[in-house]
Amino acid sequence: MPSQTIEGSGIKMHLETKLVQTGVGKEETTGAINFPVYYATAYRHPGIGESTGFDYTRTGNPTRAVLEEAIAAAESGDSGFACASGMAAIHTTMGLFSQRDHIIVSLDLYGGTYRLFEQVLTRYGLWFTYADLRDTEAVRAAIRPETKAIFVETPTNPLMQITDLREVAQLAKEHGLLTIVDNTFMTPYFQRPLELGADIVLHSGTKYLGGHNDVLAGLIVTKGSELSEKVKFLHNTIGAVLGPQDSWLLLRGLKTLALRMERHQSNAFAVAKQLLGHPAVSEVFYPGLPEHPGHQTHSSQASGFSGMVSFRVRSADQVPVFLQNLKLISFAESLGGVESLCTYPATQTHADIPQEIREYVGVCDRLLRLSVGIEHPDDLAADVTQALDASLVTGGQLR
């Protein structure tokens, strides 16, 4: 995969190199290659009005700072902020807005984001219009005098719909709106929205960035000093910060991001092909497939397709049988880890979206989402195939 070179300490480095070298050379006392975990919450002040640069860990922690710098550099942003979870990152960012502000949001969207918007933030007078962001004209039509931002997921979770980031960011600029992109599915390894005109990038670091299904984390990357200062204020004030041990685990994850993403992607292609050819499957959603409607747009703005594949089986009664028969792939709610997971959006990740909206968007009860891990592709293909076979026998007759 081609990686753009980015500036780092005077030398041009590929993103892979930069990621692997995260934190190296930052620990000057001992030269430790891996940056230490600073558990301290308080920092001794040399005197009144003097500071070492660190005062109190909620405001700034050395381990967290290395992570924050690394993600900012990887996303080509100016400042990074590590939060307790992806939702904490989204919630903190929404603190930028005030009562009566209006935000345009991807119609297909992670269920937790929808829940936060509809069940928490609307109580504070923020309001949201969910639009099909694949259609720039629909976005334009949704803009109101009160609109302050466009919140984009691309590819969307779980239907893998593609938004043209350059076009939407351009439209946002024309109207003085912020473009906020949840880049969880792609990671900066494949897609860097800030380079395409976005203002803020968000991550559930729990997913590919952490990469090992072992840490909950969120990240925010901002562009420009004014926005960075505002988010810095909110990060410290709301206080949903990431602990030092978890920051360190995320740093550890970043070092292998490039390797993992390449493998996730090649495995995803293998699994998608297997699914396409199986009689139990009616549709496959993977932006890497040339027949995917967003394939071209996606290819123009990202350098890869990542490891998330959704698909529909032919009937809902196949679902439990399929899940019960998976032997290698765990039925669990998450994604982006080295282990393959299968999720049933209707009852898990998207359970908080009302059924009629879910169905309208296409997150129906026949939809399954695979987070393809880094196991051997043949083993994954075999597991999916035998579970699909079983779903045809006991789940509902061949139809």
Partner 1 sequence: MNFATKALHGVSCFDPVTGASSVPIYQASTFHQADLDAPGLYDYARSGNPTRHALEEAIAVLEGGTRGFAFASGMAAISSVFMLFSAGDHIVVAEDVYGGTFRFLTQVLSRMGIEVTFVDTTCTHAVENAIKPGTKGIYLETPSNPTLKVTDLAAVCRIAKKHDLLVMVDNTFMTPYYQKPLELGADVVIHSATKFIGGHSDVIAGLAVTKDEALGKQLYFIQNGMGAILGAQDSWLVMRGLKTLKARLDVSSRSAETIAQWLSQHPAVSRVYYTGLCTHAGHDVQTSQASGHGAVLSFDVGSRERAKAVFDRVKLPIVAVSLGAVETILSYPAAMSHAAMPPEERKKRGITDGLIRLSAGLEDTEDLLQDLAQALDSLHELRIPDDKKTFSRV
Ligand X SMILES: Cc1ncc(COP(=O)(O)O)c(C=O)c1O
**Could you tell me which of 86, 34, 23, 58 has the C-alpha nearest to residue 243?**
58
Work out the angle between the directed axes of helices 257-276 and 377-394 (0-180°, nearest 10).
40
Cβ–Cβ under 8 Å, residues 223 and 194: yes
Across the chain, the runs of DSSP E, i.e. the strands, are: 5-8, 11-14, 79-83, 102-106, 127-131, 147-153, 178-182, 200-204, 218-222, 281-285, 308-313, 330-331, 341-343, 367-371
User: Do the beta carbons of residue 172 and residue 200 sit within 8 Å?
Assistant: no
List 218, 304, 307, 395, residue binding ligand X (CB under 6 A): 218
Q: Which pair of structure tokens corresponds to residue 87?
A: 């939702």
Residues 26-55: x where in contact with partner 1 by CB under 8 A, - otherwise, as a string: -------------xxxxxxxxxxx-----x
Is 327 an interacting residue with respect to partner 1 (CB under 8 A)? Answer: no
| Binder among 1, 5, 32, 233 for partner 1 (CB under 8 A) | 233
Shortest Å, Cβ 103 to ligand X: 16
- Assigned token pair, 116: 């936060």
Residue 184 found at the interface with partner 1 (CB under 8 A): no
C-alpha angle 25-228-170 in degrees, rounded to nearest 5 = 115
Q: Taking CB under 8 A as the rule, does residue 364 contact partner 1? A: no
Residue number with CB closer to ligand X (58 or 175) = 58
The two tokens of residue 330 are 């765990």
Nearer to partner 1 by Cβ, of 320 and 362: the residue is 320
**Residue 123: contacted member of ligand X, partner 1, none (CB under 5 to 8 Å, by partner type):** partner 1
Quick one: what does residue 32 bind among partner 1, ligand X, none, with the CB cut-off 5 to 8 Å set by partner type?
none
Over the window 151 to 180, marking each residue x when it contacts ligand X by CB under 6 A and - when it does not, the resulting string is --x---x-----------------------
Residue 157 binding result from ligand X, partner 1, none, given CB thresholds of 5 to 8 Å by partner type: ligand X
Choose among partner 1, ligand X, none what residue 294 binds, the Cβ cut-off being 5 to 8 Å by kind: none
> Interface with ligand X includes 108 (CB under 6 A)?
no
Looking at residue 142, the DSSP 8-state letter turns out to be H
Between CA 383 and CA 381 the distance in angstroms is: 6
Q: What is the 3-state secondary structure (H, E, C) of 65-131?
A: HHHHHHHHHHCCCCEEEEECCHHHHHHHHHCCCCCCCEEEEECCCCHHHHHHHHHHHHHHCCEEEEE
Among 23, 62, 112, 304, binds ligand X (CB under 6 A): 112
> How far is residue 285's CA from residue 242's CA, in Å, rounded to a whole number?
33
Tokens of 105: 């949001």
> Which of partner 1, ligand X, none does residue 300 bind to, with CB < 5 to 8 Å depending on kind?
none
Whose Cβ is closer to partner 1: residue 246's or residue 383's?
246
Sites for ligand X among residues 175-214 (CB under 6 A): 182, 184, 204, 206
The radius of gyration of the chain's CA atoms, rounded to the nearest angstrom, is 21
Among 125, 239, 279, 354, binds ligand X (CB under 6 A): 239
Residue nearest to ligand X (CB): 86
- Indicate whether 216 belongs to the interface with ligand X (CB under 6 A): yes
Interface residue with ligand X among 62, 77, 80, 86 (CB under 6 A) is: 86
Site for partner 1 in 70-129 (CB under 8 A): 83-88, 90-91, 95, 97-99, 112, 115-116, 119-120, 123-126
Active-site residue set = 58, 110, 182, 207
Minimum CB separation from ligand X for residue 19, in Å? 20
CB neighbours of residue 282 within 10 Å: 12
The listed partner (partner 1, ligand X, none) that binds 210, CB under 5 to 8 Å by sort, is: partner 1
SS3 content of the chain, % helix, strand, coil (to 5): 40, 15, 45
How many helices, marked H, and strands, marked E, lie in the chain? 14, 14
- Where along the sequence are the contacts to partner 1 (CB under 8 A)? 39-49, 55-58, 83-88, 90-91, 95, 97-99, 112, 115-116, 119-120, 123-126, 206, 210, 213-216, 218, 233-234, 236-243, 245-246, 249, 319-320, 323-324, 330-334, 337, 341, 344, 347-348
- Where along the sequence are the contacts to ligand X (CB under 6 A)? 58, 85-87, 110, 112-113, 153, 157, 182, 184, 204, 206, 216, 218, 239
